[in-house]
Amino acid sequence: MTTEKQTEQQRKDDLERLQKLLLGEDRSRLNLLDKRISEFESRAADVAEVLPHVFERISKDPVLEAELEKPMVRSMRSAIKRDAPAFAEFMFPVMGPAIRRAVADALKSLVQRINAAMEHSFSIKGLRWRLEAARSGVPFAQIVLGHTMRFAVQEAFLIARDTGMVLAHAHRDENLVLDEDAVAAMLTAIQSFIQDSLGMSPDDPLRSAELGDRTMWVINGPEAILACIISGAPPRDLRDELMALLESIHARYGERFHETDDALAKESGLRLLMRQCLREELDEKHSSSKRSKAPIYWSLALAALLILAGWATWQESQKRQFESRVIDLFRSQPGYVVSSSRRQDGALLIEGLRDPSTPPPDAILTTRGLPQQGLRFRFKPFLSLEPAIVLQGLHSSLGLENSTGLELKDRTLVVNGVLQSNQAENLTRLAGAHPLINAVDLSGTKLAGAHPLISAVDLSGTRLNAEEALRLARRQLGAPDTVELTLLDGRIMVTGYSDISWYLEQSGELRQFGEWKVDFEPLLGGLRKGLLADAEKLNESVFYFTRLDSLTAQSEADLQVFAQQLASLMQSSDRLGVDMTITLIGQVDGTGTAEQNALTSRKRAQLVRDRLIRSGIDSNKLLFEYPAWVSGSENLAERRVIVRISGENRS
């Protein structure tokens, strides 16, 4: 049993040795081949080695190229859909220069069209050509080209004789470029048709053809032909020049005419030779005409523009001078205060204050011979303290005769002429009641109807009963209807309300009618109470400022009226024995710094103080107050000065 097993093992060993002797090298190759097929890295290296040769073969086979294009397009579309941003980032280095070049080419073409249009627009002939272009439907550039050039080679095509492929192309105008393949196909078809129809041999090629208003010349060479599209009437010498250029092209690049890629078309030398084919010759008549007349037309156009600009500038200057004249007129007009002026809706709007006793704006303009067109006025009523306006208003309100004269000298109203008794009484009351009048001089007047021999009546020695005393007191005192006279404890009590001037005039000396003495203390108390009520109306008046220390337009006008009213109030308080105190409170908003706002609040209060002093208010009566500043946001309503008024009766 053991012997049989040994014999079987020995046979296997012998067989294995025999296989090694017979198949040793082949087995090694089979093992290597199996390893190369089963390992991915080995297969990738093999594919990379043969892939360039495969693509080179496919590029030469249109059928394989079309078959390979389909899966590649599908793969690219799928990749773009899956990750569009990555594809955009990948294409950016290519797309950026391409876009810039396209934009540059478009701008270049636009500039060329603009230059051509501008060159022929400002002339009679240019307008006639535009009408011709509109009537015929032909672009204006072609019309200009047809009239100003004797001939011009618009395009040149270098076409291979055997394949009919366009090897190079040059053109003059971007807007008039023909399709390369269409021209090559047309030329091949025409030559084939002529040769087949007329029985001509290939050695008798086509030399020229008419294409509408253009001519196509075919310059034939041994390996390629030069097809030129020409506008106008070219001379015969042009064909010899084009033939010389074609011979130069053959000499330099004839060996490369059979190349299938576009490397030949990109050769700078070939492109330069093709550009030399674009010959042209201007019509001397049009050229000299353009040189001689174009500057004239440009000069005329420039002169017209300058005239229009000068006329517009002169009109605007005249308008501004007129507006300035009107503004100055109303600023100098008595009874008018101009606070602002601006243009609104095509008209000059003037805003401010106007005393009702002054003539209206349209009457002032008519008197000065100024037009009212383009002017608007917005004046608020106020009482002016200008002497001329005050005297005019008094003359009208008191009903004085034209012969009665009024004159203001050092705050004294001087009256001359004949007065009625009530007119004299009213004039006397003005002393102290009007801010500009401290006294009234009636020495130059006469009372209408007065007896020439009687100047006064003394009734002190008469005995009067109560009713007679009251009637006599009212008549002698000239008491107004607002004043009441009553008897109390043996005295005639004066109550009610009257002008301060009447009170001061009548209470300045002891008054007695019969045994009845006149007591003015009740009237004084009423006048003081009324004065404090008037002060309360002016109390807490607010004047607003802009960002710094300038009053707003509205507050500027309000402050002028307020100063006049306060000046009258202060004069009355002094005469009635009331001590008035005015406190100016400067306020700011929360923007800026504490130092800046402290300075601004002082400036604002100082500005209001100066305006009040100019109106006649005693500076000793003016006090300042500056609240503590608190940081915060911008608030226009806090940029202000508040005027606080307080008063008390003297003991």
SS3 per residue for 374-429: CEEEEEEECCCCCHHHHHHHHHHHCCCCCCCEEEEECCEEEEEEEECHHHHHHHHH
Longest dimension (CA), the chain: 196
Query: E strands, 221-321, where?
Result: 224-232, 280-282
Is 297 a residue whose pLDDT tops 80? Answer: no
d(CA 604, CA 611): 11
Helix (H, G, I), strand (E, B) or coil at 306: helix
Helix (H, G, I), strand (E, B) or coil at 225: strand
Residue 645 — very low, low, confident or very high, per pLDDT cuts 50/70/90? very high
Is 301 a residue whose pLDDT tops 50? Answer: yes
C-alpha angle with apex 131: 126 to 135, nearest 5 degrees? 145
- Region 503-521: mean pLDDT is 81
Which residue type sits at 644?
Answer: R
pLDDT of residue 488: 85
pLDDT tens digits for 350-396? Answer: 998 888 878 889 888 888 888 888 888 888 887 777 777 777 777 77
pLDDT of residue 461: 47
Those residues with Cβ within 8 angstroms of residue 204's Cβ, 6 or more apart along the chain or in another chain: 195
Least confident of 228-237, 307-316, 469-478, 607-616: 469-478
Least confident of 17-26, 361-370, 444-453, 481-490: 444-453
How many Å separate Cα 584 from the centre of its chain? 41
Percentage above 70 pLDDT, the chain = 74
pLDDT of residue 214: 81
pLDDT tens digits for 218-268? Answer: 888 888 889 998 887 888 888 888 899 988 888 888 888 888 777 888 888
pLDDT of residue 515: 76
637 versus 4: the higher-pLDDT residue is: 637
Is 337 a residue whose pLDDT tops 90? Answer: no
Task: Answer for the pair 410, 381: CB distance below 8 angstroms, yes or no.
Answer: no
d(CA 565, CA 555): 15
In the predicted model, what is the mean pLDDT of the chain? 78
Closest CA to 547 of 589, 599, 610, 593: 589
pLDDT of residue 60: 65
Helix (H, G, I), strand (E, B) or coil at 364: helix
The first and second tokens of residue 301, run together, are: 């156009």
Helix (H, G, I), strand (E, B) or coil at 203: coil
d(CA 385, CA 337): 12
In a 13 Å sphere around the CA of 37, the CA atoms on its Cβ side amount to 6
The phi and psi torsions of 368 (rounded to 5 degrees) equal: -85, -5
Least confident of 230-239, 287-296, 468-477, 603-612: 287-296
Is 496 a residue whose pLDDT tops 90? Answer: no
Q: In this structure, is the dihedral angle defined by the CA atoms of residues 636, 637, 638 and 641, taken in order, positive or negative?
A: positive
pLDDT of residue 421: 65
Is 573 a residue whose pLDDT tops 60? Answer: yes
d(CA 621, CA 355): 29
- Region 157-173: mean pLDDT is 84
Least confident of 57-61, 443-447, 449-453: 449-453
340 bridge partner residues: 351
**DSSP output for 27-96:** HHHHHHHHHHHH-HHHHHHHHHHHHHHHHHHHHH-HHHHHHHHHHHHHHHHHHHHH-HHHHHHHHHHHHH
pLDDT of residue 641: 94
d(CA 27, CA 21): 11
pLDDT tens digits for 96-141? Answer: 565 555 555 555 555 555 555 555 555 666 777 778 777 877 676 6
499 versus 558: the higher-pLDDT residue is: 558
In a 13 Å sphere around the CA of 338, the CA atoms on its Cβ side amount to 19
- Region 163-176: mean pLDDT is 78
pLDDT of residue 624: 92
Least confident of 254-263, 431-440, 504-513, 619-628: 431-440
456 versus 378: the higher-pLDDT residue is: 378
pTM: 0.34
Task: Answer for the pair 605, 640: CB distance below 8 angstroms, yes or no.
Answer: no
Residue 302 — very low, low, confident or very high, per pLDDT cuts 50/70/90? confident
Closest CA to 220 of 235, 193, 202, 232: 202
Is 459 a residue whose pLDDT tops 50? Answer: no
Residue 558 — very low, low, confident or very high, per pLDDT cuts 50/70/90? very high
pLDDT of residue 455: 47
Helix (H, G, I), strand (E, B) or coil at 173: coil
645 versus 397: the higher-pLDDT residue is: 645
Residue 145 — very low, low, confident or very high, per pLDDT cuts 50/70/90? low
d(CA 387, CA 410): 11
pLDDT of residue 609: 92
d(CA 122, CA 152): 24
Least confident of 57-71, 182-196, 487-501: 57-71
pLDDT tens digits for 598-620? Answer: 899 999 999 999 999 988 888 88
- Region 151-172: mean pLDDT is 85
pLDDT of residue 522: 87
